[in-house]
Amino acid sequence: MREIILALCLSLLFSAGWSQVWIPVTPSDVVSCRNYSQKIKENSFHSSVTWKVTVKDNVISRTKTLFSETYYNKSGQPSKIVYFGENNRIKTYTIVKYNSRNLPFEEVNFTSDSVMLGGTLYEYNDDNMLISQISYVGNSVTNNYRIEHKADSIVVSEVDSLGKVISCGSISSAWRRGHRSSCAG
C-alpha cells in the first residue's frame, strides 16, 4: 500500500501534472527550472502550443488535436495554461501564481466558464525545494503532502487535517537507479 501511495505522490510531485509548471523537488530541479525559465525569457516566448497526434504502425496521422496552450509571464514562467477538448474548444484552464522567489505557490483550475474547480498550493524551503503540496476543492483539502529532504533520501508523507501521517514513503539516492523503499511509521 505504501508503494502505491508513494508512486502516486511522486507522480504528482515530479510531473507537475499536465500543467507544465515545474515544481523543484531536488537541487538539480532548482537549476533546471531557472535555466528553462531563462530560455523562455531570452527568446521572448509569450505562448506555446501542445498538439496531440495519432500514431499508428509508426506513422503519424495528419489529424492533430489541440491539447493545450501555455502563456508565459515576463519572467519566462507559465502563468496560464488552457486545455482544449473536442473541436478545439476550451475545456479548462489553470492560473499559476508565483512567490517573491519566482516559484509557483498556487495553481488554480477553472472550467471554460471561469468556475473554480480547485487548486494546489506549494511551499518551499530556503533552498527553493518543495516541502509541502496541498490540493483543494472549494474550502476542502483533498490531499496534503509533506516532503522532507534528507542527505540520502526524500521522504514523502500524506497527512490528515490534524497533521497525523496517513502514509509515508521514501526515495533513496539510489532512486535514480530505480530503487525505492518505504519509510518506517
**Which residues, in sequence order, are CB contacts of 55 under 8 Å at separation 6+?**
61
Is the pTM higher than 0.85? no
19, 94, 96, 15: which is closest to 50 by C-alpha? 19
Alpha helices, H only, 24-169: 27-42
Find the Cα–Cα–Cα–Cα dihedral 118, 123, 128, 130, rounded to 10°. -70
**Percent of the chain beyond pLDDT 90?**
38
Question: What pLDDT digit, counting tens, does each position of 92-146 carry?
Answer: 999 999 999 999 999 999 999 999 999 999 999 999 999 999 999 988 999 999 9
Tell me what pLDDT residue 40 has.
76
SS3 category, 37 = helix
Question: What pLDDT digit, counting tens, does each position of 28-52 carry?
Answer: 888 887 777 777 777 776 777 777 7
Whether 19 has a pLDDT exceeding 70, the answer reads: no
- The domain 2-45+89-177 is placed in CATH, from the list 2.40.128.720, 1.10.287.1770, 2.102.10.10, 1.10.40.50, at 2.40.128.720
Tell me what pLDDT residue 185 has.
44
Alpha helices, H only, the chain: 2-15, 27-42
Domain range summary for the chain, segments of one domain joined by +: 2-45+89-177
Which of 8-12, 63-67, 142-146, 161-165: highest mean pLDDT? Answer: 142-146
Structure-block grid coordinates of residue 3: 508503494
Tell me what pLDDT residue 62 has.
73
